[in-house]
Amino acid sequence: MEKEALIPRIGVVTDIRRDTPDVKTFRVVGTDGNKLFTHIPGQCAMLSIPGVGEAMFSITSSPTLEEYMEFSIKKCGCLTAWLHQMEVGQEVLVRGPYGNGFPVEGAFRGKDLLFIAGGIGLAPLHSVINYCLAHRENYGHIDVVYGSRSMDDLVDLEEIKRDWIGAPDMDVYLTIDREQEGWDGHVGFVPTYVQELGFSTDKTAVLCGPPIMIHFTLEGLKKLGFADNQVFTTLEMRMKCGIGKCGRCNVGDKFVCKDGPVFSFDQLGELPDEY
């Protein structure tokens, strides 16, 4: 019989990093040691452990990494708790990639890009930011505004300091919700910080984070003069199949797993407000 999309392949975890008290990043390759599949930044994959569960995660690593894929995963349920206690060498089930991904070769080309993330919301943007950095000549100035509850909750802080801060034609603005010892950076919520920074409206903005952050940041961007078609986000919904058949992740007639997860706000404006 022909290949069945819903039957997963085996992946091996080759590296585990603790990013924050509740976020770990897992490096996965196929059993032959090669990358399982190629993807577009913003696409997702289903990870599962037999008898524990299966869930959709965004692929955090950039497609430009040819040896492996990475997933930054926050511990928040059965499966994620299991993934957090596993050790290097553990096999996991993987299927994908799913979804449309960011228009890195379309609407983003040649644009100044403004990435705004909150908490674990950096995970899906991580892939696209690194993709843009790897193809630097195709994109304009890159701004990243990233905030979390505390210093310890900033995902990939080491990598941000090492690779992003100080990179040419790139500005990184970090913020945490409350004052903290050892933190001399900005303190305050992401939406307010974006307002204070006041970006020019010729940029293309990409938002990812908790719904409340997205709501207020979008409002702020509009106040600054951004149009809906200049702002992109990536949605999160319960999913079982990942291929538009199980009927669970629809927003109107669009399935987040297949037609999304990336939407511009003018696309979302035409859909029922239920996500």
Among 84, 135, 149, 240, binds another protein (CB under 8 A): 240
Among 7, 85, 182, 198, binds another protein (CB under 8 A): 7
Q: Residue 117 and residue 115: Cα distance in Å, rounded?
A: 7
Helices (H), 86-210: 122-134, 157-159, 190-197
Q: Is 16 in the site for another protein (CB under 8 A)?
A: no
Q: Are 82 and 93 in contact (CB under 8 A)?
A: no
Structural element, H or E, at residue 79: helix 78-85
Query: What type of residue sits at position 117?
Result: A
Q: From the CB of 247, what's the least distance to another protein, in Å?
A: 3
Site string for another protein, 77-96 (x = CB under 8 A): x--x-----xx-xxxxx---
Q: Residue 215 and residue 212: Cα distance in Å, rounded?
A: 5
Which CB, 50 or 185, lies closer to another protein?
50
Q: Which residues are paired to 117 by β-bridges?
A: 146, 208
Which CB, 14 or 180, lies closer to another protein?
14
Cα–Cα–Cα angle for 181, 24, 151, nearest 5°? 15
Among 21, 33, 50, 225, binds another protein (CB under 8 A): 50
Among 38, 110, 245, 266, binds another protein (CB under 8 A): 245
Number of residues in contact with another protein under rule CB under 8 A = 48
Which CB, 46 or 59, lies closer to another protein?
46
Q: Is 184 in the site for another protein (CB under 8 A)?
A: no
Cα–Cα–Cα angle for 210, 109, 64, nearest 5°? 75
Q: From the CB of 124, what's the least distance to another protein, in Å?
A: 14
- Which residue shows structure tokens 């020019």? 200
Structural element, H or E, at residue 98: strand 91-98
Among 76, 165, 167, 227, binds another protein (CB under 8 A): 76
Q: From the CB of 73, what's the least distance to another protein, in Å?
A: 11
Which CB, 74 or 203, lies closer to another protein?
74
The distance of Cα 218 from the centroid of its chain, to the nearest Å, equals 17
**Contact set for another protein, span 208-237 (CB under 8 A):** 210-211, 236-237
Nearest of 240, 207, 257, 206 to residue 44 by alpha carbon: 257
Could you list the residues that contact another protein (CB under 8 A)? 1-10, 49-54, 76-77, 80, 86-87, 89-93, 210-211, 236-238, 240-241, 243-250, 252-253, 270, 272-275
